[in-house]
Structure 1
Amino acid sequence: MAALANPDHVTLDKPLDDSFVETAPNGIRRSKSDLLLASPPPSGSTQTLIDVDVRVNGDTAVVTGTNLFKLNPAARPVDYSFTDVFVRKSEDWRVMPVQMVRRWENKCGLHATVNDFRAIGDTICSCLLVYWVDRIGRCVSGHQQ
């Protein structure tokens, strides 16, 4: 998290393959350099990864799960489902394509809109991705036996 809160581009750069591409919930695609230039998430925001599943097949791993993101401590969590594909290159696992989608649930009779997502901000999603890559990369490494 320190590399994310105070952008440490060396640490953030390592797990991302040069061919990395992120597809954000709003459909925008970003490259590795786009992600590395993104601003850090706002102070006080939190995230909790749940239902993380790692499937390894040779030198490829697919990681799926849900990130419960809170913009601030009083905010209601926003659920993002994600799929990350890792490829082992030499000794390291590198993330290549990543896709996130917002889980649209009708918990209170209200429907979220695209503008609800935009209020959270594209930059936050990109920064969260860097955190996921670090955490999930560690998980993938633990499943390489």
Structure 2
Amino acid sequence: FRRFGGNLLILGAAVAFMIYGILSSDRQQRLQITPLALTYSFVLVTMILCIPFAIFEIIRWPLDPSGIRASHILATIGTGLLGTAIFYMAYQKAIQLASEVTASLFTYLQPIATIIFAVILVGEAITLPFVIGGTLAVIGAGMATNKT
């Protein structure tokens, strides 16, 4: 059941992201909201909704600040700015300029950007599975945008 439950969570996340894309497009067109304002609202609401879970986790597993290193802080900032803020800004801009379907192709390319920044910021190694997966992601995104 644990694997099935995990698969259900992944399916739920995919459906939620689809709804997010559709609602984003609607809000941008109907209310004339900019991609920056929409991204800010998304991040703010997400942060507020995560607070109860963060409190629960801190109570259950108390934080030991002595284990926090500068590299941890740098990785957190990098993930927040590059992996979240810039990705969602680009996603909203793609929705504004094209469509939800075109913008959804960003999700295929996000892992590629993530590994590039991981190599630069924390010295991760590029592995064969990443090269294969990245190649398949680029091919898939290209095939999805091909108007044949």
- State the TM-score, normalized to the length of structure 1: 0.29
Q: Which has the larger radius of gyration?
A: 2
Instruction: Give the structure with the higher percent strand.
Output: 1
Instruction: Give the structure with the higher percent helix.
Output: 2
- State the TM-score, normalized to the length of structure 2: 0.28
